[in-house]
Amino acid sequence: MRHPSRLSGGLRATRFDAARVGASRISASPLSASRLGAALVGAACLIVSTLAGAQSGAASSNAQNYPNRPIRLLLGFAPGGGSDIVARLVARPLGERLGQNVIVENKPGAGGNIAAEQAAKATPDGYTLVLLPSGHASNAAMKKSLPFKPVDDYAWISTVTTYPLALVVAPDSPIQSFGDFITKARAAPNTLTYSSVGVGTAMHLVGEWILSEANITAVHVPFKGGTAPLGELLAGRVNVMIDTMTSTATLLKEQRVRALAVTAPKGGSPIAGVPTVADTLPNVVFESWLGIAAPAGTPPEIVAKLNDALRAVLAQPDIRQRLTDWGGSPQASTPAEFRGRVERDIASLQGVMRERKIEQE
């Protein structure tokens, strides 16, 4: 096709012989060129609109046909752990609801960041999902930089389960209650100790949050997970252990430890007779969570379909009971609620770090 300007210029130069057409000699007017230019612009717009419509229709068709092949559910931790148990617990019934297998793929390392990065950079077509832990928020608060944007690089599907942290002591500990812990810490600054599974973890930052709100001091003893924190607690070398409810539920049932308080919302303790931290320190509320996300840009129709299917799974009595026995609370959410939870957790933990002068890594 000739360039429009050349076409219009050619028309202005064209002469028609009256003898051939039976009329007087005429020349194309500038108005004719203008009309032709407008027609070409209109045609171009129509082509663009048609292509856009075709692409939109294809995307809509893909969403309607979704899923038509197996779905990957990435997990940033090794097989056998708590998050792996939850991933496999929901993967099978989720696949049954969707009509395709949901395959758990363990990608351990970097505190879950390897799986988080792979999910963030995957094609946003709904065939790569990731089960993220609340450690995703503490990583975002603690790290100076990450190879992904911890909120904006994801399409948030729904939370799966929530569970508070628990402050526990050895059965024969002289610390009788959460109030007693505060009293003893205030009477002997920097004498009592508390453990976590690492610097910058939710357990560490929530411990510092408690100290700040209570205006007391204690010594943080970080471990790298495993059974070491429990061993040190039972040996009397650590006074208080802070860990997830899912990790301490069995220990509490077996009476190997005793709970002082949990970080659930005020009045929402899952353990009969055990108060929440918020009963004494109203600002301190923190619940760990596990939830499913997809790469940012995943079509809204697919996000909605996944959310509906996950809600149905979490409403199943057998799934609810398994999660409760594990120490969690089944909790579906909307995508917006899930995103809001992540944003609030990051902001809260960053505030603790500023208050306690904890440096980012």
Per-residue tokens: 119: 């999910």
Find the mean pLDDT for residues 235-239: 97
The predicted structure's pLDDT at residue 63: 80
The predicted structure's pLDDT at residue 53: 53
pLDDT surpasses 60 at 146: yes
Find the mean pLDDT for residues 335-352: 96
The predicted structure's pLDDT at residue 46: 55
pLDDT surpasses 70 at 2: no
Residue holding tokens 């007693």?
180
**pLDDT confidence tier of residue 15, bands split at 50, 70 and 90:** very low
pTM as predicted: 0.79
The predicted structure's pLDDT at residue 318: 97
pLDDT surpasses 70 at 31: no
The predicted structure's pLDDT at residue 313: 98
**pLDDT confidence tier of residue 241, bands split at 50, 70 and 90:** very high
b/e 187-221 (16+ beta carbons within 10 angstroms → b): eeeeebbbbbbbebbbbbbbbbbbbbbbebebebb
Find the mean pLDDT for residues 344-350: 95
pLDDT tens digit sequence for 181-218: 999 999 999 999 999 999 999 999 999 999 999 999 99
CA 359 to chain centre: 24
Find the mean pLDDT for residues 282-292: 96
Tell me the domains of the chain and their CATH numbers. 1-44 (no CATH), 71-163+289-356 (3.40.190.150), 164-279 (3.40.190.10)
Find the mean pLDDT for residues 128-140: 96
pLDDT surpasses 80 at 9: no
pLDDT surpasses 90 at 113: yes
Please answer whether residues 164 and 265 qualify as being in contact, where contact means their C-beta atoms are separated by less than 8 angstroms: no
**pLDDT confidence tier of residue 18, bands split at 50, 70 and 90:** very low
The predicted structure's pLDDT at residue 48: 47
Please answer whether residues 345 and 263 qualify as being in contact, where contact means their C-beta atoms are separated by less than 8 angstroms: no
The predicted structure's pLDDT at residue 226: 78
